[in-house]
Amino acid sequence: MNLSSNIQRKVAEYTSGAGHKVRRGDKFLGSGRAISEEMRHCVCGLCVSTGEKARKSCTLFDDDSQGVRVVERHQTQVCKPVCIGKSSVSLIQRLVRTLLQSVASKRTATDGFLRISLQRSVQTRSGPERSDRPYIFDIHFFDDQLTGSFFVRAEQLGDAHDFQIPYSIGEPLDFRSILSPGGFTRFRKSLDRALIEGDGKSFSLVVVSDDLPPDNDFEVAEIRFRCEEHGIFRARPLYLFLQAHPE
């Protein structure tokens, strides 16, 4: 018995396994291939916007020569599990690497401290937006060393680090190779959950550097960072999407 395309599509929204091509004798989805072919063409990345949630364009972090570009936002439920299934880690690696490179290019000196952190925000009914969830990442670059922590709360910052490696701005990142096997597995599971739960939700992205032009706002491909105090710049609210952008 073959499952209808509508049922295949609903199954595909929950599992990347539904995107595998159906072979003779398979019983899972039947012989139809329309959904699996569609999933094979998903192009995945993290796409962020500092405008209103419904805006049409966002900044896509991908693997092209620049690493970042502004695109028309196009997202499908079928492609979301594919993007997670391929590797949520690779999505966040692109974001961290490109942000470091883009922000570093705006500094007035090249030997100072640079920090970037990403945290999910919570909108309260009675007051302003607050951010008290664990940081998805807190990354520090100084003196050709990259130090990072994942999923730590504010009160734990600085107590311990998940990695510290020699690093030059612009180099590729591979968290699998710099974390312990157990640490990488925990990071991957936490990241999968955070990206699924946070898809389309607001985040706070903070840059700290004394070498950026003082008290001036700046942009990275339409991500607007506002100076909150000397050396501290924040993009908030920043809406994060698991982006499926057609080729």
pLDDT tens for each residue of 175-208: 999 999 999 999 999 999 999 899 888 899 999 9
d(CA 116, CA 147): 11
Please name the helix (run of DSSP H) or strand (run of DSSP E) that holds residue 206, with its range, or none. strand 202-208
Q: What is the pLDDT of residue 157?
A: 80
Question: What does 12-66 look like in DSSP terms, one character per residue?
Answer: HTT-GGGGSPP-TT--SS-S--HHHHHHHT--EEEEEESS-TT-SEEEEE-SSSS
Give the relative orientation of helices 79-104 and 181-198 as an angle to the nearest 10 degrees. Answer: 100
Instruction: Look up the domain containing 29 and give its range.
Output: 1-40
Number of domains comprising the chain: 2
Residues 175 and 193 in one domain: yes
Tracing tokens 């710049």 back to the chain, one arrives at 233
Over residues 35-85, the pLDDT tens digits come to 777 777 788 888 898 876 556 788 888 765 567 888 888 888 788 888 888
**Which residues are paired to 224 by β-bridges?**
219
What is the four-CA torsion angle of 142, 182, 120, 161, rounded to 10 degrees?
A: -30
d(CA 223, CA 202): 13
Residues 139 and 111 in one domain: yes
Residues 65 and 28 in one domain: no
Residues 227 and 206 in one domain: yes
25 vs 110: which has the higher pLDDT: 110
Residues 177 and 124 in one domain: yes
Residues 22 and 135 in one domain: no
In sequence order, the 6+-apart residues with CB closer than 8 A to the CB of 186 are: none
Q: What is the pLDDT of residue 200?
A: 87
Residues 28 and 48 in one domain: no
Residues 204 and 91 in one domain: yes
H helix runs in the chain, sequence order: 5-12, 34-40, 79-104, 175-178, 181-198
State if pTM tops 0.85.
Answer: no
Residues 72 and 170 in one domain: yes
CB contact at 8 A, 117 and 138: yes
Over residues 138-182, the pLDDT tens digits come to 999 999 999 999 998 888 887 788 999 999 998 999 999 999 999
What SS3 state is found at 216?
Answer: coil
Q: What is the mean pLDDT of residues 217-229?
A: 87
Residues 35 and 89 in one domain: no
Q: What is the pLDDT of residue 33?
A: 61
Structure tokens at 158: 């600085």
What SS3 state is found at 155?
Answer: helix
Residues 119 and 22 in one domain: no
Residues 47 and 163 in one domain: yes
